[in-house]
Structure 1
Amino acid sequence: MPQYAILVQPSANRVYTQQAARLVGNELLALDRLLLDGRVAARGGPAERTMGGVPYLVLDADLTADDLRVVANLSSLFALFELRDDGALLPVDTDRLDRYDDDLLTILKYVGKTNEQLTRLLLNLTAAAALPRDGFLGSRVRVLDPMCGRGTTLNQAVMYGWDAYGVDVDRRDVEAYTAFAGRWLQDKRLKHRTSTGRVRVAGTTLGRRTTFTLAATKEEFRAGDVQTLEITQGDTLDADRMYRAGFFDVVVADAPYGIQHGSVTGPRTPSRSPRDLLADAIPVWVGLLRRGGALGLSWNTKVLPRQDLVAMLVDAGLDPLEDAPFLGLAHRVDQAIERDVVVARRPG
C-alpha cells in the first residue's frame, strides 16, 4: 500500500500556520468523503508527523491518478511525496487546477483580507459538495461570492479556470478590485475583453458592473474557450434580481466578522453581528443555486454560534454537511475572531 507525505505550506499568518496541519487534514477527509470514495479514511486517515523539524501529513491509501489530482489542490499542500519504507521522500508530480501565475492570489494586500489558504479550503469543499470528481477536475464551474470585497475568492476561482462573479456594496472595494484585475490582465499580456455598464431591472438601477472575458492562451481566446470574471457594485440582497435563478453551481462567502467588518442591513445602519444580514441574504443566495449546488460560508462564531447559522441554512431549504471532517475546521484568527466553515447542499 503506497504511503504519502504532504508537506504543509507555511502561511504568512503565524496563527494560521500553527493550525494549518489540522485544517488541511480535515479538508482532506472531507474531500475523501465527497470525491475519493473514502479511500483515505479506510486506512485510518492522515496523521501529523514531524520529519526533520518540519510538519507533514502522512497517509496510507491506494490512490488513482485522478485521486492524486484532487489531493494536489489541498489548500495548504506545499509538496507531495511518496514515503518509502527506508524513510526516503520521493517527490510526486502534482497536477493542480491552477492556470495562472500565483501572484494573482498574493499581490493584493489590505487590512481585513481573508487568508488565501482559507479561501482555497472553503472553495474546495463547497465545489466538492456540488460536483462529482470529474466535474471538480474538469468542468467550467460558476462561482458567486455575494460579499466579495476585494476579490480573494474571485481570484481563486479564476485561478482554477472557473467563472467568477462577485457582488459587493462597497464602492471603494469594487473599484480597487476592478482596477487590480484590469491591470493584472494587462501585465500578464492575457487576451481579454472588458465591458462596463449599469445593471438595470424594471427601470431601477441595481448597481454598476464590470465584466472581463479572458483566456489563459491566445488560442483558447480565439476559439471562444473563455472565462468570465464579473464584479457588480450593489446590494447582495438584490443579487436574485441581477442573476437568474439557479445560475450558479457554487456560492461562497466570507461573512462580516463583527465590528471591524460591520455588515449593513439597512440604509447606512451598521450591525455588530452578521446575523441579521445572513438571515436576509441566505434565502436570496439559495435561489441563485442550481439544484445540487452548494453554499459555503466562513464566519466568526463569537458573534454567531454555529447552531444558529446551521438553523438558518436548514430553514432556507439546504442540507448542511455536519459530519466529523466538516466539524473540525474552526480555528482562531485573533482574540476577537474564532472562524469556522460550514457547507450546505441544495437538494437535487
Structure 2
Amino acid sequence: MTRYALLLAPSANRVYADAAGRLSRAELVIFAGSGVLTARPVELAEERIGGVGYLTFSVPGEGLTERDVAHLSNLSAAYALYERVDDLLRPVELRPLARFDSDLITIPKYAGKTNEQFTRLLLNVTLLASASAPAMLDRRLVVLDPLCGRGTTLNQALMYGYDGIGVERDGKDVDAYSAFLRTWLKRKRLKHSAETVPVRRNRRLVARRFEATVAASREQLKAGSAQRVTVLHADTIEVGGLLRSAGADVIVTDAPYGVAHGSRGAGGELSRRPLDLLTAAVPGWVRLLRPGGALGISWNTHVAPREEAAAVLAANGLRVADGPGYRDLCHRVDQGIERDVLVAVAPT
C-alpha cells in the first residue's frame, strides 16, 4: 500500500469549512467509483497531522499514476497532496484543470453567490456520473446551468477548459455577469470577442443572448478552437425551444432555496418550492442532455424532501445516481438551509 495525505484548502465560509472534510471524503469516494482512476483509493479517513486537518487514503501497489494525480488535482477542496513515507510527508505536485487565473471565480462577490468550492464539487460529481467522465481531462465539454445567476458555474466551466451555457430570468444578473466578464477579459489581455444580441422567433423578441469567446492566442481564436460562454436572458422553463437539443454533456445548477430565493412556475407566480420549478423545467432540460449526460442539482431539503426531488428526475427518464458517496453530500449552509445534491443520468 502507498499512503497519501490530502491537505484541504481553507474556506472563507466557516460553516462550509466545517463540512469540507466529510464532503471531500464523499467526493473522493465518487472519484474512486467512477472508473477514471487506475488505482482506487481505499482506507479513507479524516485525520489531523501536526494539528492540521487532512483527508488520508491508501492506494494498492505502487500508488497513483500521473493521470490519477491529474484527476485528483481537481478535488474541490484539494490544496496540497503528500505521499506518506513513515512519519514524513513527501509533496506530490498537483496539476488541476486551470485554464485561467483563479480570480475569474473569486473576484465576484454578491449576496446569494454559491460557494466556489461547492460549485466545483457539484460539477465534479455530475461529470463523474456521466458518459463524459473518461474525457474530463481531455475534451472541451459543454456545461449548462439553467439557473445560472451571475455565472459561478459558467466561470468554473471556463476554468476547466469547457464551454458554458447559462440561462437566467433576472436581466440584472445577466447584465452584471456580462459586465464582469468583459472587464475581466480585457484586464487579462486575452484574445476574445463579446456581444449581446436579441433572439427572435417569428419576428418576436423571445430572449437576449450574451456570447463571449476566449482563446489564449489570436490564432486559436481564428481557428475556432476558442472556448465559448453563452448566457440567455430567458425563462428556464422555455429553454428547450431556445437551445440545440442534446447539446450539453452535463447540466449543473443550484436551485432556489425557498428562503431568500424563489422561482416562478409556468403560470408566472412566485413559488418558494423548488419542486414546482423542477416539475415545470426538467422536461425541457432533459431534452438538452446528450445521451449518457448527467444532471446535477443542489437544493434546500427543508423545503423539498430528497425522495420527492428524485421522483421528479426519475419521472423524466433519468436514472438517479445512488452509488457510494452520492448520499453523503448533504450539509448545512445556514440556519434555514440544509443543502443536498442529486445527480441523475440520461439513457445512452
Q: Sequence identity of aligned pairs in percent? A: 48
Alignment of 1:129-208 (within 5 A): 129-208=129-208
| 8 A Cα contact 1:206 1:235, kept in partner | no
Flag structure 1 segments of 5+ consecutive residues without an equivalent. none
- Pair 1:280–1:132, CA change in 2 (3 A): closer
Alignment of 1:215-294 (within 5 A): 215-266=215-266, 268-294=268-294
- For 1:217 and 1:73, the matched residues in 2 are separated by 25
- For 1:195 and 1:113, the matched residues in 2 are separated by 24
**SS of the counterpart of 2:97?**
coil
Who is 2:80 aligned against? Answer: 79
2:113 partner amino acid: K
| 8 A Cα contact 2:259 2:336, kept in partner | no
**SS of the counterpart of 2:137?**
helix
**SS of the counterpart of 1:326?**
coil
Comparing 94-103 with 258-267, which one deviates more in the overlay? 258-267
Question: Displacement, 1:221?
Answer: 2.5
| 8 A Cα contact 2:127 2:133, kept in partner | no
| 8 A Cα contact 2:80 2:91, kept in partner | yes
Who is 1:19 aligned against? Answer: 19
1:7-62 C-alpha deviation (Å, 9 max, x unpaired): 01111100000010100110011011113458435x33x21110111100111113
Question: Displacement, 1:172?
Answer: 0.6
**SS of the counterpart of 2:18?**
helix
| 8 A Cα contact 1:4 1:58, kept in partner | yes
- Pair 1:104–1:235, CA change in 2 (3 A): same
Question: Displacement, 1:82?
Answer: 1.1
Who is 1:54 aligned against? Answer: 52
Question: Displacement, 1:217?
Answer: 3.5
Comparing 196-205 with 248-257, which one deviates more in the overlay? 196-205
Question: Displacement, 1:222?
Answer: 4.0
Question: Displacement, 1:186?
Answer: 0.4
With the length of structure 2 as denominator, give the TM-score of the two structures. 0.96
- Pair 1:128–1:169, CA change in 2 (3 A): same
1:262-287 C-alpha deviation (Å, 9 max, x unpaired): 11115652111111111111111001
Question: Greater helix percent: which structure?
Answer: 1
**SS of the counterpart of 2:273?**
coil
- For 1:218 and 1:51, the matched residues in 2 are separated by 47
1:101 and 2:101 correspond = yes
2:160 partner amino acid: Y
Question: Displacement, 1:216?
Answer: 2.7
Question: Displacement, 1:128?
Answer: 1.7
- Pair 1:148–1:300, CA change in 2 (3 A): same
- For 2:183 and 2:138, the matched residues in 1 are separated by 28
- For 2:259 and 2:7, the matched residues in 1 are separated by 36
- How many residues end up aligned between the 2 structures? 345
- For 1:133 and 1:151, the matched residues in 2 are separated by 23
**SS of the counterpart of 2:167?**
strand
1:271-322 C-alpha deviation (Å, 9 max, x unpaired): 1111111111111100100111010001000000000010011000001101
- For 2:216 and 2:238, the matched residues in 1 are separated by 32
With the length of structure 1 as denominator, give the TM-score of the two structures. 0.96
